[in-house]
Amino acid sequence: MAEAELRVLLWSVDKRHAGSPTGAAARTFIAAQPADLVCLTEASPDLLPEGHWVASQAFTAARVHSGVRKVVLWSRQPWSEVDPTGDPELPASRFIQATTLTRLGAITATGVCIPWPDAGRPNGRARWEEHRRYLDALDRFLPRPSGDFQLLLGDFNQHIPRIREPVALAARLMQVLNGRFQVATAGDLPAPDPEAVSLRAIDHLAHGAALACTDIAVLGHDLPDGRRMSDRPALMLTLARAGFRSPSA
């Protein structure tokens, strides 16, 4: 990888923590990746290697014991300008924003875990209602246009383009993104092995105008005994300054 590039690992790890066998395997897997930035969702920070992390607040008492957070950001360098709140209507357990130095310069990363369709049902809310409310709050919070060296990443809980998501909510998500970000993970992604089919992600990375995605790799998530470290594969994205051409391209 050239000095002008940055690798970002994006992975939803299905509430894993290092105290479980699959969590320990996930920790080893993450440490083996050549990532400069990591965004984990539904994860405990103890899965991360040495470095610097920030995370959303714990989301239920049941998860405090294992340390699982909805979204965790990791960097090789310290974080600054940490904002665990964003808009007052954003759930604190599903949002974190901070800035770190990278080989591309200072990057502001906004980590999100947008609610899944049934998130509000136990509280009497309609299906997708919590999701819509989150998008509305995120739209209020994010500047338009976004900062040139800005990342929005995490679990969006929508395919881009939509597959089965409500048309109105797919359009609302694009209203939030358009004029701010380019979605690197939209559309079909490459299969993790030659025998697998391509996939559509709901974990996404979107970037500001000064950045470009030069490569995406979908990483396998199966253990040798057939168990899965998570219900979703990890994504490794290579970013560069817009206009930079990788020597491997």
pLDDT tens for 167-194 read: 999 999 999 999 999 999 999 998 776 6
Residues whose CB falls within 8 Å of the CB of residue 65, separated by 6 or more in sequence, listed in order? none
CA distance 171 to 160: 10
Residues whose CB falls within 8 Å of the CB of residue 175, separated by 6 or more in sequence, listed in order? 139
Residues whose CB falls within 8 Å of the CB of residue 98, separated by 6 or more in sequence, listed in order? 54, 73, 79, 80, 81, 82, 83, 108, 109
Strands 5-16 and 234-241, bridge-based pairing: antiparallel
Span between the terminal Cα atoms of the chain, in Å:
11
Kindly indicate the confidence band of residue 64, based on its pLDDT and cuts at 50, 70 and 90: low
Between residues 117 and 64, the one the model is more confident about = 117
Q: What are phi and psi of 219, to 5 degrees?
A: -95, 135
Report the 10 Å Cβ neighbour count for 113.
27
Among the listed residues 201, 194, 187, 182, the one whose alpha carbon sits nearest the alpha carbon of residue 239: 182
Kindly indicate the confidence band of residue 93, based on its pLDDT and cuts at 50, 70 and 90: very high
Residue 42, phi-psi category: left (phi > 0), alpha (psi -120 to 50), beta (remainder): left
Q: What are phi and psi of 114, to 5 degrees?
A: -70, 135
- Ordered by start, the domain boundaries in the chain are 5-239
pLDDT digit string (tens) for 131-172?
Answer: 999 999 999 999 988 779 999 999 999 999 999 999 999 999
Q: What average pLDDT is seen over the chain?
A: 91
Distance of alpha carbon 241 from the chain centroid:
20
* Tokens found for residue 222: 């199966």
Give the homologous superfamily in CATH for domain 5-239. Answer: Endonuclease/exonuclease/phosphatase (3.60.10.10)
